Amino acid sequence: MQVLAFAATNSKNSINKQLVIHATDVLKSDFDTSAEIEVIDLNDYEMPIYSIDRQNEDGVHPLAQKFFDKITEADAIIISFAEYNGNYTSAYKNVFDWASRIKMAVFQDKPVMHMSASIGPNGGANVLSIADKSAPFFKADLKGSFSVGPFAEKFDQEQGVLKDADLSAKLREGVEALVDAHYANIKLAS
Ligand SMILES: Cc1cc2nc3c(=O)[nH]c(=O)nc-3n(C[C@H](O)[C@H](O)[C@H](O)COP(=O)(O)O)c2cc1C
């Protein structure tokens, strides 16, 4: 199975990226050793701020198509959201707005796991709630969702693993559900 994973942020030392990498490690080591994982960096999808005029003049930006195609190729998606002022980072919102102009169903009915991490105790729960509520509208088949905060307390940054047992269980449940959904989809198609 092909897994696409990313942190919805453009910071170089992203705590959300650490969480994403941990989730993909657990998926591959404990649930599907044949999984092929691709972790993308939103810095590689930096585009001018979306505007209807830009789109009318030049069409959809090629990087938006590239991002959309990554989702098309994936069997499951793992995203960890950084929270800026209670909402998405502008880096993610811009990529998402561009991609939504290709198709509103950006997530194309793929199984998706949402996470969020913040330095503070709220763990990015506000942005996670926004992402979770809109998942059906954008055709994300949400299989798991949890937030991690304060990150330094709940995550061992040297080992790159969650040290909180409840959160670790949620992560394992989520990745297992992604793997199960993928193999159930294959069965349905055959
Ligand atoms: C502009 C800005 C706004 C932020 N707003 C919030 C916020 O609303 N809630 C929160 O918990 N943390 C907030 N933070 C702190 C981020 O959660 C923190 O920087 C975190 O490391 C971002 O995730 P990342 O490291 O994966 O990029 C904000 C940070 C910035 C730079």
Which of 182, 67, 45 is CA-nearest to residue 113? 182
Identify which of 20, 78, 116, 118 to mutate to test ligand 1's pocket (most ligand atoms within 8 A of the CB). Answer: 118
What is the residue with the minimal CA distance to atom 25 of ligand 1?
14
pLDDT the model gives residue 77: 98
Q: What is the pLDDT of residue 190?
A: 84
pLDDT band at 29 (very low <50, low <70, confident <90, very high): very high
Please give the pLDDT value at position 185: 86
Give 47-73 pLDDT, tens digit per residue: 999 999 999 999 999 999 999 999 999
Largest separation between any pair of C-alpha atoms in the chain: 52
pLDDT at 187: 86
- How far away, in angstroms, is 7 Cα from ligand 1 center? 13
pLDDT of 186 above 90 = no
Query: Is residue 43 within 8 Å of residue 75, measured between CB atoms?
Result: no
Range of the domain at 133: 2-189
Which of 83, 87, 122 gets mutated to test ligand 1 (max ligand atoms within 8 A of its CB)? 83
User: What's the chain's average pLDDT?
Assistant: 98
Domain count for the chain: 1
- Of all protein residues, the one whose alpha carbon is nearest to atom 31 of ligand 1 is 84
Asked if the model's pLDDT at residue 108 lies above 90, the reply is: yes
CATH number where 55 lies: 3.40.50.360
